Amino acid sequence: MATVSLVAIVLVGLLGLTGCGDESGGGTDTLGGRLNGSGATFPKTFYEVAIYEFLKQHQATTITYSGGGSGKGRTDLQENVVDWAGSDGLVKDADRVKYKGGEFLYFPTVIAPITVAYNLSGISELNLSPATIAKIFQREVTAWDDPAIVAENPKVAAKLKGGITVAHRSDGSGTTENFTKFLEKAVGTNAGGAWKLKSGSTVDWPADTQAGNGNAGVSQIVKDTKGAVGYVDYSDAVATEMKFAAVANKTGAYVTPTLAGASAAVEGAKINDDLSYDPLWADGAASYPITAPTWILVYAKQGTATQAETLRSFLLYLLTDAQKLADSVDYAAIPASLAARAVTQLDRITAP
């Protein structure tokens, strides 16, 4: 009896606190639940900002994002360790059966260019075609005055001199995966064959190249080494004030990496029914060809109604209001049409 009355007192107390006549429980302030996430580090800054803003409005909810890499996010989701995973790449068909929670959905969130950053004194504009980038990163072109580079940069030909130091990521990374996918798509086996290292979150780089940990590590090498070149996420390249090359896109136009160029690339890409798409080497004269996508992966079937509702509201926020925050942290918002399709897909997140 004592316990029952104690429970009653606590319940009355809680009602009194939340009270204010709101008995329906449908207001956003009553949103509860806890969403743990892990995965890609590339969109982490954006997710952190978005989570911070979202939780300001929903103080009873807990949302975390611990990063760790796309592979970790996917493995964690497979094992039901997290409720949502960030991933820069798609799940291979063979791996689908490993997902213990059954069917999962892709939600595209933001995009960003990957820059080809370089350290050459006196040169502030550099044009590079995918074929030349492939030769540089495979160490087939090892000097800046190589005819291949000079031919693309007649204006600064006199200043192009010295050896090239190639910097790449030492850690497995979605950035490496997208950069190598771009090269494979533009000049790989099916497109001329200049790129031979295939694609993946790490590839078998030539031994006489330099490796740095994370975007910061690669930036460090490029900044410290005269004649160095490396691939760096746009936000890090901007933050560390790097110089980066204009890259030739599918139409042959040299495009400098900008958020607008990234958005143009998504406009030119074909969106599949599951909202997967490939903005690398996209059509369109204004498209920046090395544009990286990223997705959030969640299971369609959630354990409880609260969990499903919290997940839907958080994703809805990411796809709508949070898109306006993307610019401030150097990511590009996804096009409105794609965001609208993703919002429609939210209905497929259900609870038993």
Partner 1 sequence: MTGSTAPPAPFTGRVGRADAAFRYATIAAGLVVLVVLGAIAVTTVRRALPAFDLMGFRFLTSSRWDPNADQFGAKAFLYGSLVASAIALVIAVPVSIGIALFTTQVVPARWRRPIIYTVDLLAVVPSVVFGLWGILVFAKVVPGFYDNIASAVHPIPGLRSLFGSSHGRSYMTAGVILAVMITPIITSLAREVIDTCSPSDREGAYALGATRWEMICGVVLPHAKNGLVGAVMLGLGRAMGETIAVALVIGSANNISANLFASGDALPARIANEWGEAEGNWRAALIGLAVTLFAVTILVNLLAAFIVNRSTAKSQGAR
Which residues contact partner 1 (rule: CB under 8 A)? 41, 68-72, 74-75, 95, 165, 170-174, 177, 198-205, 207-213, 217, 220, 224-225
Q: Which is nearer to partner 1, 33 or 73 (CB)?
A: 73
Closest to 228 measured CA to CA, from 245, 205, 204: 245
- Distance separating alpha carbons of residues 219 and 237, to the nearest angstrom: 7
Tell me how far, at minimum, the Cβ of 201 lies from partner 1, in Å: 4
Q: Which is nearer to partner 1, 41 or 287 (CB)?
A: 41
Q: Which residues pair with 243 in a beta bridge?
A: 118
Q: Which is nearer to partner 1, 23 or 204 (CB)?
A: 204
- Distance separating alpha carbons of residues 230 and 189, to the nearest angstrom: 23
Closest to 159 measured CA to CA, from 118, 188, 187, 110: 118
Tell me how far, at minimum, the Cβ of 51 lies from partner 1, in Å: 20
Q: Which is nearer to partner 1, 209 or 320 (CB)?
A: 209
Tell me how far, at minimum, the Cβ of 179 lies from partner 1, in Å: 13
Tell me how far, at minimum, the Cβ of 12 lies from partner 1, in Å: 49
Number of CB atoms found within 10 A of residue 309's CB: 17
Tell me how far, at minimum, the Cβ of 143 lies from partner 1, in Å: 15
Q: Which is nearer to partner 1, 203 or 247 (CB)?
A: 203
Q: Which is nearer to partner 1, 217 or 261 (CB)?
A: 217
Tell me how far, at minimum, the Cβ of 133 lies from partner 1, in Å: 19
Q: Are 341 and 271 in contact (CB under 8 A)?
A: yes
Q: Which is nearer to partner 1, 40 or 248 (CB)?
A: 40
Tell me how far, at minimum, the Cβ of 315 lies from partner 1, in Å: 24
**What order do you get walking across the sheet with 246-248 strand by strand?**
127-128, 246-248, 254-255
Q: Are 248 and 130 in contact (CB under 8 A)?
A: yes
Q: Nearest 5 degrees, angle CA 204-CA 208-CA 211?
A: 65
Q: Which is nearer to partner 1, 33 or 39 (CB)?
A: 39
Q: Which is nearer to partner 1, 41 or 323 (CB)?
A: 41
Tell me how far, at minimum, the Cβ of 280 lies from partner 1, in Å: 17
Q: Which residues pair with 84 in a beta bridge?
A: 37
Tell me how far, at minimum, the Cβ of 90 lies from partner 1, in Å: 13
Q: Which residues pair with 36 in a beta bridge?
A: 64
